[in-house]
Structure 1
Amino acid sequence: MNISDILERQTEQSGETPCVFINNEMWTRNDLNRKVWQAASIIYAHGVRPGDVVAQSFISLSNQLVAMLATARLGATVFSLAPHTPEIRQRELLNTLQAKFLATDLTDHHCADITTILVKSEENSDSRPFMNNDPSIRANNPNAPWIIVTGSGSTGKRKLLPITHEQQWNRLQAGLEWLPYSKNDTLHSLVHLDYYFAKQRYLEAILKGAAIELVNSRTSPLHASVLYGTVFHVEQFLMALPQSVKGHMEHLTALMIGGSPVSPALRERIRERLCSKLYILYGTNECHTTCRTSLNEVYGIPGNVGRPHQGFTLQIVDNNDEPQPADKAGHIRIRSSATIDGYLHDEEATARAFRNGWFYPGDLGRMTPDGQLIHLGRSDDMMIMNGINIYPAEIEQIIASHPDVHDAVALPLKHAVHQDIPVCAIVLKKNSAITERKLLDFTRERLGPHAPHRIFILDSIPRNEQGKPVRIELQKLIAARQPYASGTTNMSTETGSHNIGIPKGRQLQKLLTCSFIMPQNPDMVTLDLWLNKVLDNDLKEHDDRRFPGANSAPPETRQWLWRCLQLSRLLLQAGRAAVFDPPGIIACTQKNITSRKWNAVVSIPLIDDFPNAMYDVALKTSFSLAGWAAVHEPEGDNLNHFFDTIQQRVIEPLSKVLPVGKSTFPVLQTAYGMGIPFRHLGGGVFQLGWGANARRMDRSTTEIDSAMGAKLSQSKVLTTRLLQSAGLPAPQHAVVPTHEKALLAAKKIGWPVVVKPADRDRGEGVSVDITNNDALKKAFNLARNLSPSKQVIVERQVPGICHRLFIANGKLLYAVKRLPLSVTGNGSMTVAELISAEWNAQQSKPPWKRTEIRPLDQMALDSIAEAGLRPDSVPENGRLVPLRKIESTQWGGVDEEVMDRIHPENLRIAIEAASLFGLHVAGLDIITSDIAKPWYQNGAIINEVNFAPLFGGGEISRQHIPVFLRDFMKGSGRIPVDVFSGGTSALNASLQQWEALRKKGVQAYLTNAEKTFSPSGKPLIMPFKSTYLRVRALALSAKVEAIVIALQSDEFLDSGLPLEFVETVTIFDEPLISFSNPGKQVSPERLKSLQILLKNWRTTDHINP
Structure 2
Amino acid sequence: MRHIAELPDARADFAPGAPILADDATVLTAAEFRARVRLAAGALHRAGVRAGDVVAVVLPNRVELVVALFAAWRLGAAVTPVNPGLVGDEIRYQIADSGATVVVGEPGGTGVTLDVADLARPTEPVAAAPADGPALIIYTSGTTGRPKGVVLEHANLTAMCAMIIEALGLDETDHSLLVLPLFHVNGIVVSVLSPLLAGGRTTIAAKFSATTFLAAVERIRPTYFSAVPAIYAMLVAQPETRRPDLSSLRRVICGAAPMPAELIRRFEDRFGVPIVEGYGLSEGTCASTLNPVAGPRKPGTVGPPLPGQTVAIMDPDGNLLGAGESGEVVVRGPNVMRGYLGNPEATARTIVDGWLHTGDVGRFDEDGYLILVDRIKDMIIRGGENLYPKEIENALYRHPAVHEAAVVGVPDPVLGEVPVAHVVIAPEAVVTEDELIRHCREVLAPFKVPAAIVRTAELPRNPVGKIDKKRLRALAVQG
Tell me the TM-score normalised to structure 2 length.
Answer: 0.90
Q: Offset at 1:228? A: 1.2
Q: Offset at 1:469? A: 1.4
1:801 counterpart residue number: none
Tell whether 2:188 aligns with 1:199: yes
What RMSD over aligned residues (CA atoms) do the two structures have, in Å?
2.4
Q: Deviations over 1:778-815 (max 9, x none)?
A: xxxxxxxxxxxxxxxxxxxxxxxxxxxxxxxxxxxxxx
How far apart are the structure 2 equivalents of 1:257 and 1:248? 20
How far apart are the structure 2 equivalents of 1:8 and 1:34? 9
Check whether the contact 1:363–1:377 (CA below 8 A) recurs between aligned residues.
yes
Amino acid at match of 2:21: V
Check whether the contact 1:63–1:120 (CA below 8 A) recurs between aligned residues.
no
Q: Deviations over 1:587-632 (max 9, x none)?
A: xxxxxxxxxxxxxxxxxxxxxxxxxxxxxxxxxxxxxxxxxxxxxx
How far apart are the structure 2 equivalents of 1:116 and 1:385? 53
Q: Structure 2: 5+ residue runs without aligned partners?
A: none
Alpha-carbon spacing, 1:109–1:374, altered in 2? closer, same or farther (3 Å): same
Amino acid at match of 2:82: L
User: Secondary structure of the equivalent of 1:146?
Assistant: strand
2:364 counterpart residue number: 367
Q: Offset at 1:346? A: 2.2
1:326 counterpart residue number: 323
Alpha-carbon spacing, 1:474–1:60, altered in 2? closer, same or farther (3 Å): closer
Alpha-carbon spacing, 1:229–1:87, altered in 2? closer, same or farther (3 Å): same
Check whether the contact 2:160–2:335 (CA below 8 A) recurs between aligned residues.
yes
How far apart are the structure 1 equivalents of 2:399 and 2:296? 18
How far apart are the structure 1 equivalents of 2:195 and 2:323? 34
Q: Deviations over 1:264-292 (max 9, x none)?
A: 22112211233322111211011121111
Out of 437, 459, 463, the residue aligned to residue 461 of structure 2 is 463
How far apart are the structure 2 equivalents of 1:398 and 1:348? 39
Amino acid at match of 1:107: P
How far apart are the structure 2 equivalents of 1:59 and 1:296? 34
How far apart are the structure 1 equivalents of 2:22 and 2:113? 31
Q: Offset at 1:380? A: 0.7
User: Secondary structure of the equivalent of 2:272?
Assistant: coil
Q: Offset at 1:419? A: 2.6
How far apart are the structure 1 equivalents of 2:29 and 2:326? 48
Out of 439, 444, 449, the residue aligned to residue 442 of structure 1 is 439
1:169 counterpart residue number: 158
How far apart are the structure 2 equivalents of 1:418 and 1:160? 38
Check whether the contact 1:2–1:72 (CA below 8 A) recurs between aligned residues.
no
User: Secondary structure of the equivalent of 1:361?
Assistant: strand
Q: Offset at 1:299? A: 7.0
Check whether the contact 2:98–2:149 (CA below 8 A) recurs between aligned residues.
no
Amino acid at match of 2:197: L
1:96 counterpart residue number: 97
Tell whether 2:107 aligns with 1:107: yes
Alpha-carbon spacing, 1:328–1:345, altered in 2? closer, same or farther (3 Å): same
**Residue pairs, 1:825-844, within 5 angstroms:** none
**Residue pairs, 1:807-886, within 5 angstroms:** none
Alpha-carbon spacing, 1:153–1:43, altered in 2? closer, same or farther (3 Å): closer
Q: Deviations over 1:194-223 (max 9, x none)?
A: 322211120111001111102312673532
Alpha-carbon spacing, 1:478–1:419, altered in 2? closer, same or farther (3 Å): closer
Alpha-carbon spacing, 1:189–1:416, altered in 2? closer, same or farther (3 Å): same
Check whether the contact 2:53–2:100 (CA below 8 A) recurs between aligned residues.
yes
Q: Relative to structure 2, which stretch is displaced further, 388-397 or 83-92?
A: 83-92
Q: Deviations over 1:1004-1043 (max 9, x none)?
A: xxxxxxxxxxxxxxxxxxxxxxxxxxxxxxxxxxxxxxxx
Q: Deviations over 1:485-534 (max 9, x none)?
A: xxxxxxxxxxxxxxxxxxxxxxxxxxxxxxxxxxxxxxxxxxxxxxxxxx
Check whether the contact 1:330–1:364 (CA below 8 A) recurs between aligned residues.
yes
Alpha-carbon spacing, 1:294–1:348, altered in 2? closer, same or farther (3 Å): same
Q: Offset at 1:333? A: 0.4
Tell whether 2:422 aligns with 1:433: no
How far apart are the structure 1 equivalents of 2:292 and 2:24? 32
2:224 counterpart residue number: 226
Q: Deviations over 1:145-170 (max 9, x none)?
A: 11111003442221110111111111
How far apart are the structure 1 equivalents of 2:31 and 2:157? 23
Q: Offset at 1:374? A: 0.7
Q: Deviations over 1:367-405 (max 9, x none)?
A: 100011111121111122233221111111221122111
Check whether the contact 1:19–1:210 (CA below 8 A) recurs between aligned residues.
yes
Q: Offset at 1:437? A: 2.5
2:205 counterpart residue number: 215
Q: Offset at 1:189? A: 1.6
User: Secondary structure of the equivalent of 2:280?
Assistant: strand
2:400 counterpart residue number: 403
User: Secondary structure of the equivalent of 1:360?
Assistant: strand
2:31 counterpart residue number: 30
1:156 counterpart residue number: 145
Check whether the contact 2:324–2:363 (CA below 8 A) recurs between aligned residues.
yes
**Residue pairs, 1:460-859, within 5 angstroms:** 460-478=458-476
How far apart are the structure 1 equivalents of 2:384 and 2:13? 62
Alpha-carbon spacing, 1:296–1:377, altered in 2? closer, same or farther (3 Å): farther
Q: Offset at 1:355? A: 0.5
Out of 289, 292, 296, the residue aligned to residue 291 of structure 1 is 289
Amino acid at match of 1:183: E
How far apart are the structure 1 equivalents of 2:115 and 2:376? 43
Q: How many residues align?
A: 467
Check whether the contact 2:229–2:257 (CA below 8 A) recurs between aligned residues.
yes
Check whether the contact 1:54–1:76 (CA below 8 A) recurs between aligned residues.
yes
Check whether the contact 1:265–1:402 (CA below 8 A) recurs between aligned residues.
no
Check whether the contact 1:191–1:465 (CA below 8 A) recurs between aligned residues.
no
Amino acid at match of 1:212: T
Percent identity between matched residues is 25
User: Secondary structure of the equivalent of 1:5?
Assistant: helix
Alpha-carbon spacing, 1:181–1:403, altered in 2? closer, same or farther (3 Å): farther
How far apart are the structure 1 equivalents of 2:421 and 2:257? 17
Q: Offset at 1:13? A: 3.1
Q: Offset at 1:14? A: 3.1
1:753 counterpart residue number: none
Check whether the contact 1:265–1:403 (CA below 8 A) recurs between aligned residues.
no
Tell whether 2:312 aligns with 1:312: no
How far apart are the structure 2 equivalents of 1:392 and 1:187? 33
Point out which structure has higher relative CO (alpha carbons under 8 A, 6+ apart). Answer: 2
How far apart are the structure 1 equivalents of 2:171 and 2:160? 17
Alpha-carbon spacing, 1:408–1:140, altered in 2? closer, same or farther (3 Å): same
How far apart are the structure 2 equivalents of 1:459 and 1:247? 26
Amino acid at match of 1:188: L
Tell whether 2:336 aligns with 1:339: yes
1:17 counterpart residue number: 18
Check whether the contact 1:247–1:272 (CA below 8 A) recurs between aligned residues.
no
Alpha-carbon spacing, 1:85–1:423, altered in 2? closer, same or farther (3 Å): closer
How far apart are the structure 2 equivalents of 1:263 and 1:454? 21
Q: Offset at 1:185? A: 2.0
Tell whether 2:155 aligns with 1:186: no
1:391 counterpart residue number: 388
User: Secondary structure of the equivalent of 1:427?
Assistant: strand
Q: Deviations over 1:813-844 (max 9, x none)?
A: xxxxxxxxxxxxxxxxxxxxxxxxxxxxxxxx
Q: Structure 1: 5+ residue runs without aligned partners?
A: 483-1105
Alpha-carbon spacing, 1:392–1:299, altered in 2? closer, same or farther (3 Å): farther
Amino acid at match of 1:460: E
User: Secondary structure of the equivalent of 1:63?
Assistant: helix
Amino acid at match of 2:469: R
Q: Deviations over 1:974-1000 (max 9, x none)?
A: xxxxxxxxxxxxxxxxxxxxxxxxxxx
Check whether the contact 2:138–2:183 (CA below 8 A) recurs between aligned residues.
no
Amino acid at match of 2:195: A
User: Secondary structure of the equivalent of 1:376?
Assistant: strand
Q: Offset at 1:40? A: 0.5
**Residue pairs, 1:912-951, within 5 angstroms:** none
Tell whether 2:474 aligns with 1:452: no
User: Secondary structure of the equivalent of 1:47?
Assistant: coil
Q: Offset at 1:110? A: 6.1
